[in-house]
Structure 1
């Protein structure tokens, strides 16, 4: 491998290492802030989780209702076609 390619690869590896270190530092400080975070933030996160669960339950309910309606409609169509074929 030519020396210029080796230098390029080395500099690329160094840049990636620096970038990873730069990214990890803000995340670690953010995690620490969340751990120490004020109670209102924790309450908001808890309320958001509760709301997501409610929406999820509604989505399951409506999906089941749509499925039942589709099965009933298809059954009616099949019954009409079978009676018409006689």
Structure 2
């Protein structure tokens, strides 16, 4: 699968291959180039990529989000919920 490329004008300023890398890049770029992240959020690029890689739940959680702090909060909430689901599945599949 193709990674997500954070672009600022004609330069690639970040790359994410999965949700963990997406979180790290949004956090890093939120400090270095928040306008870049906000543009990708507002244009729906990140939501489209998440759907492409099969992360439809997170894509839905980020739909309509336009700022870095809110995006990071929702990604972290998603990861927490997903971790709890894995633990429950592991417990019940014993």
TM-score, shorter chain, exceeding 0.5: no
Q: Could you tell me the TM-score, scaled by structure 2's length?
A: 0.31
Which one has the bigger helix percentage? 1
Q: Could you tell me the TM-score, scaled by structure 1's length?
A: 0.34
Q: Which has the larger radius of gyration?
A: 1
Q: Which has the higher contact order (CA 8 A, sep 6+)?
A: 2
